[in-house]
Every structure is written in structure tokens, then in C-alpha cells.
Amino acid sequence: HGFNPYETVMGIALLPHEFTMEAGEMTETLKMKRFEIHKKYKEGIDRICG
């Protein structure tokens, strides 16, 4: 089966820690704060995604 470009993994990076509420990356209901995560890890995301 072929995949569309948007269905493929472009790159991956592993962090040495999990997302936490204390670091501002998770809400009290343990949902990811995507905007905050993107802001915090923008440099790495840009390096992977181009």
C-alpha cells in the first residue's frame, strides 16, 4: 500500500523527559498544550520538518 505524503513520518526526536504540568506542557486534565509545546520546542520541530 502506498501512502500519501501527509501520512508518512517526516522525522522523529525523543526528549529525555515526559511532558508535565509543572513544565507547562500539560493541562490539569493531562491534555497536551500544543501551542506551548510548539513554542518551547520550535527549533527542534523546524529542524525536523524543514
| Distance (Å, whole) CA 22 – CA 14 | 19
**Plot region of 47 (φ>0 → left; ψ -120 to 50 → alpha; else → beta):** alpha
- Over the stretch 32-42, which tens digit does the pLDDT of each residue have? 999 999 999 99
Per DSSP, the three-state class of 21 is coil
Per-residue pLDDT tens digits for 8-46: 888 899 999 999 999 999 999 999 999 999 999 999 999
pTM attached to this predicted model: 0.73
Burial class (CB in 10 A: 0-12, 13-18, 19+), 11: exposed
